[in-house]
Structure 1
Amino acid sequence: MSRVSLVCDSENWGGAEVYLTHLLRRLPGVGWTPSLVVAEPLAARFAPAECAVVPLARHTAEAPAVRAALAAQHPDVVLVNLVDPGSNAAALAAARSVAPTVGVLHLAGDTGAGARRRSLAALYGGLAAVLTPASGARDQLVADLGLPPGRVHVVPNGVDVPPDPAGPAGRAVPRVGALGRLTAQKGFDVLLAAVGRLTAAGVALEVVVGGEGRDGDRLRTAAAGLPVTFPGFVTDVRGFLAGLDVFCLSSRREALPLVLLEAMAEGLPCVATDVGDVAATVGADAVVVPPEDPAALAGALGVLLADPAGRVRLGDRARRRAVADLDAELMVRRTSDVLRRVCGRSARGTART
């Protein structure tokens, strides 16, 4: 079996970290022995067989602890989870000094200008490959950082598709749910504005927003007087989704968010903003609205809240889409194929740094 080390250099838990849990569980089934190097803030959230805990290196100039931990694992290839193009540069450089390195860019972002962009271009140019779940991030890497198109691979996200989907909960007062980091990126303030419009129009609903983050206090203040609760970090995602009648993704920016795919796999009707590859992936099997548009979001939610049978039909379509296209097994096999090609080049002496 070939050895792959996964690097998690983040202080917040979200879809990018859930992605790593899928790899850790499933890569052994396709011929890999995975290990993990994880920043201390998230170490307790992982439970792999082999795990090295290091200080958070995000936004630092160097990551000697990451390099030492990787060297001790003797990987054939390293996969580094990237929060955005520039924030994990130190971890990337450390990984490149140990073994051929693949970056996974979950979200497009600021690549800077001038010297900063040239530095990022040199760093990414030394990677064996880059994976991203969405075409927008791929286009940015090619256009802004000059990466050869053949070295950037779009591998859509995948999730566990349960054999027993929950479907809409069928509550007398329908419950809308959202889940993610409580940050501006996720657009929960837009959701609150939409809920305000719905309640002002006399629509009966409950809203639950799961997650934690730096904007939590501000969002709770903004939700005063609205039928909205914030349960905090959600450890049982399936249990959370099972209590919903509608799932809502209100984000301003995404690539292809795992939580939306998880909701579809559970047979929930979904309303999502048109960000990243969401529209291309869900097709007509979810309702897609413009980002940062409370009126459009309220309108889409209002239609579903008034139509229990329509919620069931849309949830059934979402489930079928997830079964056909969104299973994590497919994502892991595609990822493994890229890692194999990197190892093959390394064996011929062309990929190691």
Structure 2
Amino acid sequence: MAMRTLLSLVIGLSVLLGWVGEVAATARARVTRFQALKAICLEGETLRVLVLPERGANLISLFDKRTRREWIWQNPWDRYRKVRYASSFLDADVSGFDDCFPTVGQQAYPAAPWKGVVIPDHGELWSLPWSYQIRGGSVRLWVRGRRLPYRFEKQIRLVDPGRVEISYQVTNLSDHPLEAIWAAHALVAVRPGMDVFLPEEARFQEDLSPWSLDRRFGLGWIRLGGPETKSCKKAFTERLTEGWGGFYDGTTGDFLLYTFPVAKVPYLGLWINQGGLVARGHRHYNVGLEPTNGGEEFQHSRQRGMQHVIPARATETWYLHLTCGKSTRRDLRARVRQAR
């Protein structure tokens, strides 16, 4: 009896491992081009992702093959190219999904031994070339800071059906605590009438007007207008109790859901841009929902109790999962529970 039980367990494990291997095998990774830049393409049965290692490991495309929908906003007026380190973000393409670290806005570092060192606009990572390694159907990318001593790494893989998993790791390479802000600055290609959805109990630190946060079906909803309003707004939530948020298109039923560990990433930044931002003569129309461990700047984070410090020689890890799918508005809360 014991031998038969053991044999059954071995067979079951073999089947499970085979199934996992088949799932992994459905994703493929290859080097390609995106305009003038090298790109890493990850492609599975349902999604295709493009990452630009020469342009800050920017995730420039999240394409749902089932619906033919591109979720990431790409700049239609600009050519994508390498950017100069520490240049102004507004002088570049201002698009895609950048990891902002160790800050978002340009500012001086506030504490010794780096007090007064100026951190570039949008952080350091976006304007640096990253190293990368393709492993099967995933890619690992990494870079070191120039003005502060840290190593930043992320691994991206596809999990069918319809999920991108990004695993992060940052190491403080110094013998001193490192104050740092991370934000996932992903600009989404929205359409008029779409909604941002959030946990029902989410509250914002700033006034959202002219937008409002309505609560229905166990969710908070922010209805988006069109680019003709020529308006924009940036806001941050209070500390969250659940780590998720996303976008919903009521016309098609398409949704894009972000999930993240709320104990490590306790806030969401919201950047609504309905034609209010003009960059290089063009009005942009996009929205960023930005999981973050802090605010926009060190002073802002300290004043609001959002300060984040990495201990000396310590390594921190967290994740961000992006799930694409379809749902009715009423059933979306259940889809969130399934994805988590």
TM-score by length of 2: 0.28
Question: TM-score, normalising length from structure 1?
Answer: 0.28
More strand by share: 2
Higher helix proportion: 1
